[in-house]
C-alpha cells in the first residue's frame, strides 16, 4: 500500500488524547518541551501518511487495527486507499486492550 500520501483523520478521542498529552508535557516539562514533543508527534503522523503499513497489525484489538510507536506513545489506526483513521494515542505503558 505505498503510493500517494493518505489523508490523516483523527477521531474525537485521538484529538483529546493529543490535547491531554501536550497539556501533561507542558505542565511537567514546560512549553519548550511541549513544542518539541508536538513536532515529533506531527512528524510521526506525517510519516504514517506516506508509509501507512509501518505499524504492526493488531487484529486482537479490532479488525483492521494497526499500531505504530511515536516516541513514548502508540498510535492505533486503520488504513484504506484514501485515508488513515487514527483512533487513539496511548502511552506505551497503558493497557492497550483496555483503552484501545
pLDDT tens digits for range 59-76: 999 999 999 999 999 999
Domains within the chain, CATH numbers bracketed: 7-99 (3.30.2310.20)
Total-model pTM: 0.88
Supply the pLDDT for residue 2. Answer: 52
pLDDT at position 94: 74
Per-residue confidence (pLDDT) for residue 34, from 0 to 100: 98
For the chain, give the mean pLDDT.
Answer: 92
- pLDDT for res 91: 93
Whole-number Å distance between alpha carbons of 95 and 23: 21
pLDDT at 3 (0 to 100): 62
Cα–Cα distance between 99 and 4 in angstroms, integer?
Answer: 31
Tell me the percentage of the chain whose pLDDT exceeds 90. 85
pLDDT at 92: 87
Amino acid at each position: 500500500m505505498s503510493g500517494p500520501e493518505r489523508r490523516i483523520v483523527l477521531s474525537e478521542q485521538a484529538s483529546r488524547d493529543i490535547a491531554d498529552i501536550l497539556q501533561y508535557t507542558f505542565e511537567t516539562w514546560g512549553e519548550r518541551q511541549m513544542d518539541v514533543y508536538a513536532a515529533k508527534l506531527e512528524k510521526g503522523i506525517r510519516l504514517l501518511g506516506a508509509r501507512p503499513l509501518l505499524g504492526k497489525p493488531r487484529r486482537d484489538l479490532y479488525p483492521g487495527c494497526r499500531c505504530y510507536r511515536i516516541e513514548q506513545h502508540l498510535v492505533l489506526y486503520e488504513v484504506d486507499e484514501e485515508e488513515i483513521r487514527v483512533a487513539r494515542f496511548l502511552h506505551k505503558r497503558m493497557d492497550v486492550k483496555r483503552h484501545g
